[in-house]
Structure 1
Amino acid sequence: MGELRWRVGVDRETCIGSGICAATAPNHFTLDADRSRPLAELVEPDDVVIDAAESCPVEAIAVSDASTGERLAPEE
C-alpha cells in the first residue's frame, strides 16, 4: 500500500493574492506574481494545509487525497 499523499492546487484565476495561505502554511505556499502557488503539488498530510485552504477568502485552494481524488478542503 502506498504512502498517503495530498494533492494541492491553486486556481490562479480565482486567487486574489491575499497571502493568507502563505502566512498560514509558509512551508506549503508562496506568492508568485501576486498569486498563490503551492511549493509542491503532492504533500504529506498536514493539517496546516487544510487550514490554509479553509482560510482562503475566495476558496482558490483545493486539497484532495492524491490516490482517490476525494476532496478534503475546502468543505463543499
Structure 2
Amino acid sequence: MRCRILLAALLTCGIAPAAEPGSRLDAVLHSGVLRVCTTGDYRPYSLLRDDGQFEGSDIALAQSLAASLGARVSFVRTS
C-alpha cells in the first residue's frame, strides 16, 4: 500500500506543469524601472551630453514609453 501511494505521489510530481516565468513587461511593471541600453554616441538618436545626461530621439522615445508604463527610465551606457 505504501509503495502505491509513494508511486502515485512521484508520478503526480512529474505531471504537474512548471510555473511560467513572468514576462519582461511584468518585471518592468513590478520594479517600476525601464532599463534602456544606449551608446550615447550616435547623434541624433542617442547622445551623451557633457553633463552626463542623454538626449536624442531614441532617448525621448524611451522616456515616453517609461512614462506610459508608469515607470522611470534608467539608461545604461554600453559600447
TM-score class normalised by the smaller sequence = under 0.3
Q: TM-score, normalised by structure 2?
A: 0.26
Q: Which has the larger radius of gyration?
A: 2
Q: Which has the higher contact order (CA 8 A, sep 6+)?
A: 1
**How does the TM-score come out when normalised to structure 1?**
0.27
**Which has the larger share of helix?**
2
